Structure 1
Amino acid sequence: MFKGVISLKSINVKVSHGKGEISEEDGFIRVYTMEPRENNRANIDVMKQISKYYGVPSTSIKIKSGQRSKNKIVEIDV
């Protein structure tokens, strides 16, 4: 990817899973988090994991849709 390009990714979140990890399957990203849904903690952890996975700051990641759903569209400004 080139600097400044915005990438949209479809992700599927698995909450309360044994360990936090990311895998790419079936054309989307699956993110496993141990954080609960309450107080937006799962979404915050998902954004942290994605930022680490892609090597971008967490401020470059925005949830465009699916804030309260396990299926999300995430925008990554790289």
Structure 2
Amino acid sequence: MRDINDGVEKDRVPASQTTTSVRVKVTPGASKEVFTKVGENSFEAFVREPAQKNMANRRVCELVAIYYGAPPEAARIKTGHRSRNKIINVKL
């Protein structure tokens, strides 16, 4: 009888389940859009969108996802929904 796990690497996590957390300092309503890496998992984002109706948050999530080569819906705010300092999870 064959074991169901034969040939499967047990320590390997599928790419679709890997999540990275990053810190982002956001400045909404900027005159020009800039997204810069300031540390290993830290970024600074200047976005044109105002901090109203979740517009700036959505744009920051898009920028983080683009940086990691993931689709826009792969980035979600974990903490800091109403703060300039945010922690964003990205599914890679």
Fold agreement, TM-score > 0.5: yes
Give me the CA root mean square deviation: 1.4
Q: Extract unaligned runs of 5+ from structure 2.
A: 1-13
SS in 2 for 1:74: strand
- Given candidates 28, 48, 54, the residue that maps to 1:34 is 48
Letter in 1 for 2:21: L
- Given candidates 58, 76, 79, the residue that maps to 1:62 is 76
Aligned residue pair count: 77
Structure with higher Rg: it is 2
Task: For CA contacts below 8 A with separation 6 or more, give which structure has more relative contact order.
Answer: 1
Q: Extract unaligned runs of 5+ from structure 1.
A: none
Could you report, residue by residue, the CA deviation over 1:18-67 in whole angstroms, capped at 9, with x for unpaired residues? 22221011451111101001101100111111122211011111100000
CA distance in 2 between partners of 1:11 and 1:39 (Å): 19
Higher strand share: 1
